[in-house]
Amino acid sequence: MSAEMVISEILYDAAPTNDGGEFIELVNIGDASIDVSGWVLTDAVSYTFPAGTTVQPGDRLVVARRAAAAADFYGIDVVGQYVGLSLIHI
């Protein structure tokens, strides 16, 4: 069994009519669960995955610049809100 986490999508520079804003999506493309507790996204954004965060095979995690707005606009579960610059500055 193997576990492999990848960044599967980055939405940056959202259109002015897009109320959901920017987000980063990670997906476990392996066949084993991954404990991402304490993993950190750094550089343009800052986010630390909380203790107890596990990703099952095929599952996704989304963090957003404005978590509640992204969850509402896209109709997705957002695990957290990052801080930092807009992703367009990466």
Residue with tokens 């492999």: 4
Provide the 3-class DSSP secondary structure of residue 9: strand
With a cut of 80, say whether residue 86 has pLDDT above it: no
47-85 pLDDT, tens per residue? 999 999 999 999 999 999 999 999 999 999 999 999 986
**Full-model pTM:** 0.89
Closest CA to 33 of 74, 4, 12, 65: 4
Asked if 39 contacts 24 with a C-beta cutoff of 8 angstroms, the reply is no
- In sequence order, the β-bridge partners of residue 28 are 5
Please report the pLDDT score of residue 90 as a whole number. Answer: 53
23-52 pLDDT, tens per residue? 999 999 999 999 999 999 998 899 999 999
